Each structure stands twice: as structure tokens, then as C-alpha cells.
Copies of this chain bind each other. A is one copy, B any other.
Amino acid sequence: MPSIKVAILGFGTVGEGIYRILNERKEEIKKETGHTIDIVSILVRDTAKERLATPGTRITDDVQEIFATGDIDVVFEAIVGEEPAYSYLSEAIEKGCHVITANKTMFAQHGPALLKHAAFRGVQVCYEATTAGGVPIIRTISGLLPTDRVRRIRGIFNGTSNFILTKMREEGIPFEAALHEAQVLGYAEADPTDDIGGKDAFRKLMILSALSFGRQPDWQDVPIVGIDGVTIEAVKDASAGKLRYRHVADIALDENGALHGSVGPVLIGPEHPLYGVDGVDNAIIVDTDHLGALTLIGPGAGMYPTASAMVGDLLQIVGKREAVVVTS
């Protein structure tokens, strides 16, 4: 049985999580797919840095060294930011590799181009981990699409913002104190601008828009409001009226087929499915023709949820052990 040869680009939290899961779940993966997974190379920024031991795996800071061997089947990308991630993945696709990414900034912008390129080269691009971490929203919507039609997608796509709003409400502390707590706990980046300003949620909304509707709206037509303007007084007033602030990204098709998107804080009552979604969780409500509303709630980030979603993508690519034979 041939082994699947993989490379991991980026060896931060998520990259290391991929490495760990591929090793910890070796037997289950082999049982499920019939293949062993061989981690051939890992791309790092600094080869001198001390890190998890990876016996038998080439560690390099030169991506060309990885591509030069010509034997990689699947590339995992867990780098941050548009470049060089986009260039690396374009090259991987051109060389006939399947690619799996967790890079939302890159994918919101370049996802449609990567998918087109991959279709042309006969390989797959998987991106479950770009949106809502461990919540399998990409797979769920992909599974619905051939038999159903998505009308609207809305939800909480940024765990940091949701954590901050939750802390403000539960502990009666102002925005800055809640942000500081999120940073201390590692839920917020040193530069939290994209999280609290709404850009991160916007990017995930654009990824889901491309998947669900086959297109994105013009980015400048989507108003983006962050949670940085939500005062503790406003949160207390809301609580007094049994309401909660949630940071909601929302996109819907109107009856003329036009897309309308928005990102910003919304007041929610106790009967709303997003009312109880606290802390760093993400939640997505998908409205379709056949289902009415389908809601998914789960961890929006974290090493294992994210890496687990990416290894799940690998299993989608490799497929089940028994190839399905259509008899006619």
C-alpha cells in the first residue's frame, strides 16, 4: 500500500498540532484510508530554534528544497498572512500537490483563484480550518449544496470578540480590561486589531460566501463594525433588558439574487440561537431552501480543533479504503 507523502509549511501551534495528530492517530488513519502518512518535510522560519523532535522528517527554511524532491502528495499550510503563503500554495498546486490551508487572510482574498487553479491541475484545495476552527462548516455546506440552496449565513466567527463581550457582561468590566484578559489567556493576538475591528470575521464571511453562493460581494459594500465601540454602559443596559451583544457576520441573498453582507455588534434576545453562545465559541446559522435553519456551535480556534480539521481534510482527499464501484 503506497504511503501518502506530506509536507507541513509552518510549524507554530497549528503545524505542530498537525504533526502530533498524524502521529498519534497513525493506526486509525491507516485503518480508515488504507494508507500510511509519511511526513517528509517541514518548513520553518528558523532552523536553529529548539522545537518538538521530528525524527525522519526534513526540517528546512527553504521551500524550494521541499518542492525540489518532487514526491510530495499533500501540502499542509499553517503560515500566517497572505504572502508568502499564496505563492507557496500556487507553486504546490502547479506541481500537482493537493493543498490544505488554515490561512483565512490568504484564502478570503485568493481562495477563488486557488480553487480554479487546482481544478485545472486536477488537485484539491481544502480549507475547513480557515473558518470557525473545529466546527466543520465547510464540509457541512459542501455536503448540502448539490441538493439544497443556501439563502443566508450568519454567525459568530471571531472567538476573541465573543470572549470579550462575554467577559464584559459576566464580570461588568470595560472593554479594555476584557481585552487584556483575552491577551493574558492567549485568546487575543498581541495586535488584536483584526479581531476586535471585525476584519477577521469579515474574511471568514467572504470565504463562506464564495462557497455558498459561488461569489463574494464587493468588499467595500460590506459595512464592518468591530466591538471596540461597545461600552460597558451599553452592555449593562442590554443585560437589564435581557439582551446580549453578539458580534455577528451576516450575508444573505435577496429575491433578485443580490448579496447583502454586514459585520457588527447586534443585540440578541433569549430565544435567539446565538444568545447562549459564550466565550471563545463560534456559531454559524445556515438558512437553506430545504432545511430552514441549521445551526453549528463549537470551538473557533485552538491547536487541536484546527489541526484536527486539517487532518480531516487530508482524509477527505485520500478517501475511504474501499473505493466505491458503480456497477453500470
Q: Which residues of A contact B (CB under 8 A)?
A: 2-5, 21, 25, 28-29, 31-33, 35, 71, 73, 96, 98, 119, 122, 124, 134-136, 139-140, 143-148, 270-273, 275-276, 278, 289-299, 304-305, 308, 311-312, 315-319, 322, 324-328
Given contacts A140-B140, A294-B298, contact A4 B146 (CB under 8 A): no
A124 and B321 CA atoms in complex are apart in Å by 12
Given contacts A4-B328, A147-B25, A326-B73, contact A297 B298 (CB under 8 A): no
Measured between C-beta atoms, what is the minimum distance from A29 to chain B in Å?
A: 6
Chain B CB count within 10 A is highest, among A295, A327, A328, for A327
Measured between C-beta atoms, what is the minimum distance from A173 to chain B in Å?
A: 19
Partner of A292 from the list B31, B299, B316 (CB cut-off 8 Å) is B299
Measured between C-beta atoms, what is the minimum distance from A311 to chain B in Å?
A: 5
Measured between C-beta atoms, what is the minimum distance from A127 to chain B in Å?
A: 15
Given contacts A25-B146, A293-B298, contact A96 B140 (CB under 8 A): no
Do residues A140 and B146 form an inter-chain contact, with CB atoms below 8 A? no
Do residues A315 and B139 form an inter-chain contact, with CB atoms below 8 A? no
Given contacts A147-B21, A271-B278, A273-B297, contact A122 B291 (CB under 8 A): no
Do residues B136 and A324 form an inter-chain contact, with CB atoms below 8 A? no
Select from chain B the residue with minimum beta-carbon distance to A310. B147
Do residues A295 and B292 form an inter-chain contact, with CB atoms below 8 A? no
B residues within 8 A CB of A144?
136, 308, 312
Partner of A134 from the list B272, B291, B324 (CB cut-off 8 Å) is B291
Do residues B295 and A295 form an inter-chain contact, with CB atoms below 8 A? yes
B residues within 8 A CB of A134?
290-291, 294
A87 and B291 CA atoms in complex are apart in Å by 31
B residues within 8 A CB of A98?
324
Do residues B328 and A5 form an inter-chain contact, with CB atoms below 8 A? yes
Measured between C-beta atoms, what is the minimum distance from A195 to chain B in Å?
A: 20
B residues within 8 A CB of A31?
146
Nearest 7 pairs between A and B by C-beta?
A290-B304, A294-B298, A295-B297, A32-B146, A290-B308, A147-B311, A134-B291
B residues within 8 A CB of A324?
98, 124, 317-319
A to B CB contacts below 8 Å, 24 in the list: A3-B328, A4-B326, A5-B328, A28-B145, A31-B146, A33-B146, A71-B328, A96-B327, A135-B294, A139-B140, A139-B143, A140-B140, A143-B312, A146-B311, A146-B312, A147-B312, A148-B308, A270-B276, A271-B278, A276-B276, A292-B299, A294-B299, A318-B326, A319-B324
